[in-house]
Amino acid sequence: TGPTIVAGEILVEIMASERGQGFLEPLALTGPYPSGAPAIFIDQVAKLGGGAGIIACVGRDDFGAINLERLRRDGVDVSAVSVSDRYPTGSAFVRYRPDGGRDFVYNIAESAAGRISLTEEARRLADGAGHLHVMGSALSIAGLKEIVAYAAKAVRARGGSTSFDPNVRKELIDGADGAHFSALVDDADLLLPSGDELLAAAGVADERQAVAALIARGVGEIVLKRGAAGSTRFGADGSRTDCAGFVVEEVDPTGAGDCFGATYLTCRRNGIEPGKALLYANAAGALNVTRLGPMEGLAGFDALDRFIAGTDRAK
Ligand code: ADP
């Protein structure tokens, strides 16, 4: 029992309203939209009615305010979000290329997100939490490492669980942070890799071997995200469940993985069996990519049920 919590970056995203290459010409833009992988994840937990809280830092500005307002409105506990007077809320400018790729301009390195620290409020939220979800960014921000270490211990002490999305740059896995990365993988009750991250997390080149190696290291279950193709769940008992993706028109892929992970986790925490949880997660990911803005396509159970009933699946 106790809410699901995350820690990490909150920012806004501003998108070019038309596809094209780069930002070298003046463009029509749309946004700002609330964003940041941890924010997307935790907002979806709340949309599904799960207890939810976030540890973060935003600037005392409108970009921070729209995030706090959205999270609050959807039911996320934002009492552990600190507000910096010195550093602004970060932003990311995104343009989608005709081939589906993306160009980014980030203003995050010197933003409030990097000022995150283990405050009294953060400790209090972690002390009452039932589940901690950890993301790749936990490896690159000093204050965040401390928060994750504290929260993981607190959650474990209460008999809670953890999940890990290993979306981490390759240099970090190979470099000095490799041991820290491995520890986060080993500790995960639920691992949520996408694409090659499964092989990178295991350090082997074959999917079946990677799954076997990770389960042997103590990972509880693995759910592999496969984009438009859907997803696969591997259980600790050797079971494998495939779930075909829903057929949708992809407008904006940002946030799909976080929305998917939040949905799978929240279903499982609610006692929904793995196959059904996977279906809901696929639906949530697919629905999210049909809307412009990383958090604009997040959906509760009623909307997901309607989407599932009315949408074809890939063969
Ligand atoms: P990540 O964002 O972590 O790379 P994915 O791109 O694999 O993750 O997206 C997560 C999930 O969202 C997928 O497993 C799938 O269920 C769903 N999804 C993502 N893109 C699409 C798409 N174009 N069509 C249908 N479903 C999608």
The fraction of the chain above a pLDDT of 70, given in percent, is: 100
* Average pLDDT of the chain, as a whole number: 95
Residue 4 predicted with pLDDT over 80: yes
Q: What is the pLDDT of residue 285?
A: 98
Most confident of 36-50, 170-184, 192-206: 36-50
Q: Would you give the DSSP letter of residue 89?
A: P
Q: Is the CB of 285 under 6 A from ligand 1?
A: yes
Question: What is the tens place of the pLDDT at every residue in 185-218?
Answer: 999 999 999 989 999 999 999 999 999 999 999 9
Residue nearest to atom 7 of ligand 1 (CA): 227
**Residue 256 in contact with ligand 1 by CB distance below 6 A:** yes
Residue nearest to atom 8 of ligand 1 (CA): 257
Ligand 1, atom 24: closest residue by C-alpha:
228
250 close to ligand 1 (CB < 6 Angstrom): yes
pLDDT of residue 263: 98
Atom 12 (ligand 1): residue with closest C-alpha?
Answer: 285
Q: Does 47 sit in the ligand 1 pocket, CB within 6 Å?
A: no
Residue 172 pLDDT grade (very low, low, confident, very high; cuts 50, 70, 90): confident
> Could you read off the pLDDT of 259-285 as tens digits, one per residue?
999 999 999 999 999 999 999 999 999
| Beta carbons of 217 and 247 less than 8 angstroms apart | no
Phi (first) and psi of residue 145, to 5 degrees: -60, -45
Ligand 1 atom 23: residue of nearest CA: 228
What's the pLDDT at 173? 78
Residue 116 predicted with pLDDT over 80: yes
- In this structure, the residue with its CA closest to atom 19 of ligand 1 is 227
Q: What are phi and psi of 288, to 5 degrees?
A: -65, -35
Residue 186 Cα, ligand 1 centroid: separation in angstroms? 24
Does the pLDDT of residue 176 top 90, yes or no? no
Confidence of residue 179 (pLDDT cuts 50, 70, 90): confident
Q: Give the separation between CA 219 and CA 106, rounded to whole angstroms.
A: 33
| Predicted pLDDT of residue 168 | 84
Q: Tokens for 159?
A: 């008999």
Indicate if ligand 1 lies below 6 Å from the C-beta of 192.
no
ipTM score of the complex? 0.98
Task: Establish whether residue 257 lines the binding site of ligand 1, counting it when its CB lies within 6 angstroms of any ligand atom.
Answer: yes
Going by CA atoms, what residue is nearest to atom 21 of ligand 1?
228
pLDDT of residue 24: 94
Distances (CA, A) of 177 to 144, 152, 210: 14, 18, 20
**Residue among 194, 198, 311, 313 whose CB has most ligand 1 atoms within 8 A, to mutate:** 194
What's the pLDDT at 174?
77
10 has a pLDDT exceeding 80: yes
Q: Is the CB of 313 under 6 A from ligand 1?
A: no
Q: What is the dihedral of CA 263, 266, 269, 274, to 10 degrees?
A: -10
pLDDT higher than 80, residue 96: yes
